[in-house]
Amino acid sequence: MKSTQLFKFGSVSLLLTMTPLAVQAACSSAPQTLSGTQQLFGKTLDYKVTVATDGRISKVAFACDVDNQGWVSNSTIKASVTLRGGVLTGYIVNEGTITDFEFRGASIVGGTLAGKIVNRSQVGGVFKNVKLAANAEISGGVLEGNIVGDKKAPAMLNNVKVKAGSKLSGIKLGNKVKLGKGVVVEEAETATPPATSDTDKPTGTSGTETGTTETGTTETGTTETGTTETGTTETGTTETGTTETGTTETETTDTSEVVGEADIALEGGDNLDIQETLLADFVADAVLAGAKKLDKTVDMVLLNSGSIHGSIPAGPVTAKDIATVAPDLGNALVLLDVTGDQLIQALDHGLMPGDGKVERAFPIIAGLKVNYCSTTPCEKALAEGGVVTKITINGKALKSEDTYRLATNDFLAMGGASYTMLASACRDGSYCEKTETLVSTLLEAEFKGSKKPVTQKLDGRLKVAE
């Protein structure tokens, strides 16, 4: 923040405008290690921090450097602070530097990104208005706004989408970079021509996309030769696979194929993040039925609202409708054992006012019924500081010390959407197995296996406590 002050030296007056330098806090306290799940609700940590491998830290402002070996979500990195390593989720406000990390959240806004960065967000994770340090590497995700790299040591972008109207400088365009309409690229190197549409070519760079073609590079012997890789965009009813060094593999998939019929519209939309919906119940019930065919001991299903999208219209349902509702990324089925206490923690997280919508963590369930408070504090909560007041599983009251078999997706099993207690259960529990089955496959099977139009009713499985 700039400030203006008047200085007088005898008969001479000077009006000076000063901009204070960003200085890291004293950080004089001894470094501390944070472990376990901790929501610090906006607290500023003015000491150096190590986030342990089992650490799941959220809603905090870091005023000193951070060695992140675990997970950090919904937090602020203060000016001149460096956070290194680990996984970041949720919404991150960055005023400092974040380096060598994996991202699984919604957005990182501002600051500097450095080192090797892998964006595995399931919810379209965006890096917005960021600086890229010398020789930074970004793989995956979305860039938006003003993205400024080092002109002498440009950052490498691979498998990245750049939103329309953004501006890039000091970067190197690698494989599968898609530039939206009106993107401006200045002083960039092109390792591989980026994919753009004929009508959406960026200003200041050459980009080519013909139909659904993304251009890549391959090495043949010691000679690099350009090859064409054709993406998964539909052309009629055919998706074309990868063309490499003259060999073409073609897979025919008719996404317009009708897989079944819906008797009513299975509505989801924005309500997925705040309440029980027809689409959520249908998806959870279909996953529970499919999971029980794999393992009869499965008790319940827990997914997150971010794992499904939109709605299914009444009438004929196509494979494309299913793929839109349940995209494959992050939606492979995982079976794991959880304790009653871990289940309470998971549902408290997803149902906590604000959290469900912020991280699209609102629970999608089958096999259990849950009563919860819509506000905090919740006097009847099963756990201190929580909101869940009652859980029944197959009609029986949950016992905190018992173990239950849960079906979820691989995104949540890895701690996505800050379901860190599931990651702990998967890592430390007695059983956790990732299957080859996709949620979309189970939904499609539900339609194909029904002899009459599919229908669904709300049954109060998620109910606000009176």
Residues 6+ apart with CB under 8 A from 242: 229, 230, 249
pLDDT digits (tens, 9 = 90+) for 352-399: 886 545 568 899 999 999 999 999 899 999 999 999 999 999 999 999
Buried b (16+ CB within 10 A) or exposed e, 228-242: ebbbeeeeeeebbeb
**pLDDT reading at 19 higher than 80:** no
Between the ranges 47-56, 137-146, 412-421, 428-437, where is the mean pLDDT highest?
137-146
pTM score, whole prediction: 0.54
Question: Would you say 102 and 86 are in contact if contact means Cβ atoms under 8 Å apart?
Answer: yes
Please give the domain boundaries of the chain with CATH numbers for all domains. Answer: 35-214 (no CATH), 228-253 (no CATH), 260-464 (3.90.780.10)
If we measure between CA atoms, which residue out of 274, 346, 279 comes closest to residue 308? 279
- Res 332: pLDDT: 86
Residue with tokens 């869940």: 388
Distance between CA atoms of 305 and 331, rounded to whole angstroms? 12
Q: How confident is the model at residue 329 (pLDDT cuts 50, 70, 90)?
A: low
Amino acid making up residue 373: C
Question: Comparing 279 with 221, which gets the higher pLDDT?
Answer: 279
Determine the average pLDDT of the residues in 298-310: 92
- In angstroms, the CA 159 to CA 283 distance is 30
d(CA 107, CA 212): 28
Least reliable range by pLDDT among 23-27, 150-154, 263-267, 315-319: 23-27
Total residues found in the chain within this entry:
466
Between 394 and 248, the more confident residue is 394
Task: Give mean pLDDT, residues 289-310.
Answer: 94
Q: How far is CA 96 from CA 83, 119, 139, 357, in A?
A: 8, 19, 21, 26
- For residue range 116-125, list pLDDT tens digits in order: 999 987 667 8
Other beta carbons within 10 angstroms of residue 124's beta carbon come to 12
Amino acid at 98: I
Averaged pLDDT of the chain: 81
